[in-house]
Structures are given as structure tokens and as C-alpha cells.
Structure 1
Amino acid sequence: STSAAAEQGTAAHALAEHKLRRALKQRSKRPVSAWIDDEMETLTDDYVAYVQEHISLAREACGDPQVLIEQHLDFSHVVPGGFGTGDCVIIAEPTLQIIDLKYGQGVLVEAERNPQLMLYALGALHTFGDLYDIERVAVTIYQPRRANVDTWEIPVTELEHWAEAEVKPKAELAAAGEGEFCPGSWCQFCKIAPTCRARAEANLALARLEFAPPAELSDTEIADVLARIPQLKTWAADVEAYALSKAVNQGVVFEGFKLVAG
């Protein structure tokens, strides 16, 4: 389930943080979790080794890089109220690095133009940029259960242009309750996904198409429907789980439905 995956990811991050702090001679208490198993031990060891390698390379280039673990990164100068936590931030010259551990194996995450990491980089630059002569940013997705270690670099000037030209205008619209919703696979990470009207309309439009007699659809249309069915199933499961939770925990009655034991 989504909650189980989140709990597992939290445990992996806590274990990785502990191991990395110990590797850097910092005090840390080993976390205790039922989710920690042999696989997690091995994969977090590999993550720490990867980070240490990049710290060593940064020291060769800079001499005195600053290494921050689970660092609060504030990018509210770009997105009002925006902040996040960087798993590992290596501040050095000429490259600032953001390394993000993704323990999940469901969705392959790419580093190229990854908005989350680009915003994290903007937060790090805003706080620490004056201390170093940083020319570019390297963001890395470390996703061991998908054998995915993906790094992408962008010049600081280009990153800042993206912030000014694309992010700020959209953030201002969002803050004002304006702008357009854009349903997609990313909806799985949104807390209002089960009740989002835009997502419902998009999926119901697909359902209406799917219920048309197959003979009326071309092969191209059928292929399009087949590609979208997983998204439709996910949305339906989200709504069903949400409704069940409301019924069980809050006594909400949905017309035409009732709870039964079993």
C-alpha cells in the first residue's frame, strides 16, 4: 500500500542518515524499525559509499566542501512557503551537489529537469551561495531498488532563469488560487488526489471513451485506452479507499452504498 511504502521509505532514509553521519564521524543513534532488513542494510551501505565517493571528489576540487545531511532547504524566495529536506547536499566549488535517496521501486525517477531537486538546489544556493563560487549544480537521484543512479547538471545562471521565468509566475498563480490543474501520473503524490475534481473529470472522460462499443474505436484509439487503463484503475482505487476510510472512521454514508462485514 501507499502508506506501507511511505513507512519503508522513512525507515530507509533514517538508516541511511545514521550510517552517513557515522561515516562522517558525527554522533548518531541507530534507528529501530521493523522495516529494516538485509536488503535495506545493503542498499543503504551502497548509498553511503556513493556519497563518500562524491565527497572525496569534491574535496579534490575544492578543498573544504560543506557536507549537509537531511538539510532543511528554504526556497520560499521562489515559491511562497516552499521548503524541503535535502538528503545530502555537498556545497563546493565550482559545483553544488544535491543527492536524493529514493527507496521506492514503483516509479522510476529521473534527475533531468527534476523540479523537486531544482527547487532544492535553489534553496541551497540562496542560503550558501555567497560562501562559495558556485558555477553549476549537479542533482542526483539514487534509486537503488530500480538500479537507477541518475545525475544531471545545470549552470547556475540557467537554473536561476528557470526560477524567474517559469516557477515564480506559476507559484504566484497557485498562491492566488488560479492557474490550471494538470492531472497525470504525478497525482499519486498529491494529498487531495482522491477528491481532486480535475483528476476525476480527466478519468471519467477516459471511462466514457472506454465504455463505447469496441467496434467504434480504431486500433490507435484502443492502444491509447490500454495505455491509460492503469491510471484509471489507480484513480478508482484511490477514491474507493478514501470513501471506505470516511465511512469507517467518520460514519459518512454514501448514497446507494453500505458497509458490510467481511
Structure 2
Amino acid sequence: MVAPTKHSSLSASSAGKWIYCPPTLWMEEGLPDFTSEYAQEGTDAHRLAELKISLATKKITKRKYNAEVKKLKENSKFYSQVMEEYTQSHADLVIEDYNSLKKSAIFTEQKVDYGQWAPGGWGTSDAIIVNDDTLSIWDLKYGKGVKVRADHNIQLMLYALGAYYTFGPMYDFSTVRMTINQPRIGNLSTFEMSLGELLDWGDTVVKPAADQALNGDGDWDFNRPETWTFYKAAGFDRHLAEKNLEIRKYKFKEANALTSQEVADILDQAPQIRKWLDKVELYALTQILDEGKEIPGYKVVAGRSRRVISDQVAAAQVLENSGFKDIYTDPTLKNITSLEKEVGKKKFEELLGDLLYKPEGKPTVVEDSDKRPALNKLQQAQNDFKNFDDTKEEEK
């Protein structure tokens, strides 16, 4: 194997993988990062929180703050009054902590380098407060899907190691406090440990795991959710497949019916297996569409699609001008099904027909027997290129 070209692959956010299942680092080498709208929403929220903390600590002027917030509003489709309120509540908590620590300094969006324990490893901490007694790490989680706890949180502990590397020579702190705030689900979680415990963890856990990960060594251990939940190779990793297919151990030779304990064991595995199957399906989809490969017995088709109103503001104006008032589910228009019931199917089509469209359905993997036509992006791209080439030839 060729060694990873970027040691920053030993990132804090993916540490659950390379610490508990080191070989995953090699499997992910060269694979694209996962991206989503939720990630951009989180980025915008972090930026807004940073500005609020910087304003409160007089690191920026009110004029600079207003200019930066205006820029954020103009470029973000996620900015809202709700985001303002959640980030303000987070900033207030950070400032309260800062004021409680005497003679402390505060740093926002601070790059931290923990390369002493994991070569090339670094990250960006949302807020760090430090004095001669305490190192306090704050992490804003703007998502609301999964509750994240601070207790022995690997990402924050790596940030703490990096903060110690940067600020240890200047401050004589002995307590490390790490806080995760998820304001949208009311989760505020704090964990404390001594500096000695943190450094011991860095030497006995992080260093050996980083060495194994960079050298392709270590055990394949997918027992912890953090090792595979955001694993970029989950759709084709044989070791993960073997883990999820352990359910085949039930040979059912002793009786025709499952025992209550066997049912419980299977149900315990169900959530992980469902998520793994989703990742396998996504891998199959990308192999067919993007790589032009065949998966025997399967094809990709356009999934089912629902009608969409292209311009909700214009639609609302049309309905209001026609005398319909009960058309909102605060703060947006009701869905199309509800509006049809309110307006009447025929009248609805008459008023809004020009504003309705049905986008192409999301690509989905189905069996070959499905009657829907197959999609093939690679073939379509090749055909488009050929048609373009033929046109250029005719022009000659």
C-alpha cells in the first residue's frame, strides 16, 4: 500500500475511526469527503457565533460586526432569526465561562496542533478559554439529529491536546474542561479531567493508534458506531460487511422458531444493519452512475417525484388575490395536498398550473425487473460528447 499523502487525515472529527479501527485510514485514502447542506448550515452558525463572541470580548468593533453579519446574510441561505437566537445563547454561555475564569484569555476558531501525538494532526476549536488554573474548550454542535456527549469525547480531547501544545508553555493550568453545546435540542454537556489524565491518554492511546493508522496496522474493530457511521468506505469494506453479516450465525437448527433472546439479539443489530445497507446501496449507485460499472441484477432509475411550487411567493399572491386566506402553515405555504383540499383540485390547477413542476426523482437502485428505464450518467456524458464531436465535424 502507498502511505496516505496527507497526515491531516488524522483529523479530530474522524478520530473515532482511526483510533478504534486504525486500518480505516487506508481504506478512505483518496475517497471524497461527505458533504451536505447541514454541514454548510453548521459552518454559517459557527461563523455567526464567532462574531458574537468576538464582539462581546471587544476583539472586533460593532461596525466590523455589522459588516460581517451583513455579508453572512447575503451569502447564506440558512441565516435566520432562529440562528441568531441559538448562536446568541451559545455566545452568552461562552462569555459567562470566560468571565468566571480570572485573568483568562479567550481564542475563537483557534487552530490547534496535536501532531506531537498524531503526526500532521490538527483541527480548529470553536472557543478556547485558558488561565493558570483551567483550560476550557467549547464546541458548538448546530445539528439536531444525534445528541453528542462531552464525556471522553475524542474530538474535544484532541483539541485539548493541541491547546496544551500551544498554550501550555504560557499557562500553568491543571484542569481541562470540555463543553459541547447543542442549542437546538437543549443539550449542554460538560466533562472535566486532569491535565495528567489527558496527557496519559495522548501517550498511551492516541500515539499508538496514530502509528498503526499511518502504517496500515491494527485490528478491524467496528463494534463502536463512531468507527463506521461516517466511514467513507462503508459501502465496500469487506470487514464491515462481515461484521454486519454475523447475523448469519443463527442457523436455527435446534427449533423452527426463534427464541425471545434471539429476537432481541437481531433487533439490537437492526439499526446498524439498516444504516450499513444504505451505504452499500449508495456505493452501488455511484458505481453504476459515475463509474459505468454493472451490478448484476440491479440498475439505477429515477425515483418517485412529487410536484413542487416553483415560486411560493407568487403562488401565495395568486391564492390571496383569489380570496383564499387559510393557506399558510407558519411560516410557509401549506403543502400541495393541503392546498388542493382548501382550494379545490380543479381550481388549484387553474390558478397555479404554471407554477407547478415535477422535478426528476432521486436516483435509486432497483432490481432489473423494475419497469422504469435505467439511468446512466456516464453513458449519457459519453453520448453528449460524441454528439458534440459529430457537430464539430459537420461544421468543418
Structure with larger Rg? 2
For residues 36 and 251 of structure 2, the distance between their equivalents in structure 1, rounded to whole angstroms, comes to: 32
What is the aligned counterpart of 1:244 among 279, 285, 300?
285
Shift of 1:216: 4.2
Q: Which residue of structure 2 lines up, in the alignment, with residue 22 of structure 1?
A: 55
Q: Which residue of structure 2 lines up, in the alignment, with residue 4 of structure 1?
A: 37
For residues 202 and 43 of structure 2, the distance between their equivalents in structure 1, rounded to whole angstroms, comes to: 29
For residues 118 and 255 of structure 1, the distance between their equivalents in structure 2, rounded to whole angstroms, comes to: 45
| CA deviation map 1:82-138 (0-9, x unaligned) | 111100011212000100111122221111111111111010001111101111100
Shifted more, 152-161 versus 196-205: the winner is 196-205
TM-score by length of 2: 0.61
Contact kept in structure 2, 1:100 and 1:142, CA below 8 Å: yes
- What letter is aligned with 2:96? E
1:106-117 counterparts in 2 under 5 A? 106-117=145-156
What is the aligned counterpart of 1:229 among 270, 280, 285?
270
For residues 173 and 252 of structure 1, the distance between their equivalents in structure 2, rounded to whole angstroms, comes to: 33
Does 1:218 find its partner at 2:247?
A: no
Q: Which residue of structure 1 lines up, in the alignment, with residue 126 of structure 2?
A: 87
Q: Which residue of structure 2 lines up, in the alignment, with residue 150 of structure 1?
A: 189
Does 1:168 find its partner at 2:211?
A: no
Shift of 1:217: 2.9
Secondary structure at the residue paired with 2:106? Answer: strand
Secondary structure at the residue paired with 2:300? Answer: coil
| Greater helix share, structure number | 1
Q: Which residue of structure 2 lines up, in the alignment, with residue 39 of structure 1?
A: 82
* C-alpha RMSD of the superposition: 2.2
| CA deviation map 1:130-171 (0-9, x unaligned) | 101111100001111221111111111111111112221122
For residues 39 and 245 of structure 1, the distance between their equivalents in structure 2, rounded to whole angstroms, comes to: 36
For residues 247 and 11 of structure 1, the distance between their equivalents in structure 2, rounded to whole angstroms, comes to: 34
Q: Which residue of structure 2 lines up, in the alignment, with residue 55 of structure 1?
A: 98
For residues 5 and 199 of structure 1, the distance between their equivalents in structure 2, rounded to whole angstroms, comes to: 26
Structure 1 stretches lacking a partner, 5+ long: none
- Over the matched positions of the two proteins, sequence identity in percent amounts to 40
Secondary structure at the residue paired with 2:229? Answer: helix
Residue 99 to residue 210, structure 1, CA distance change in 2 (3 Å): farther
Secondary structure at the residue paired with 2:168? Answer: helix
Shift of 1:245: 2.6
Shift of 1:261: 3.9
> Does 1 or 2 have the higher relative contact order (CA < 8 Å, sep 6+)?
2
Shifted more, 219-228 versus 86-95: the winner is 219-228
What is the aligned counterpart of 1:136 among 166, 175, 178?
175
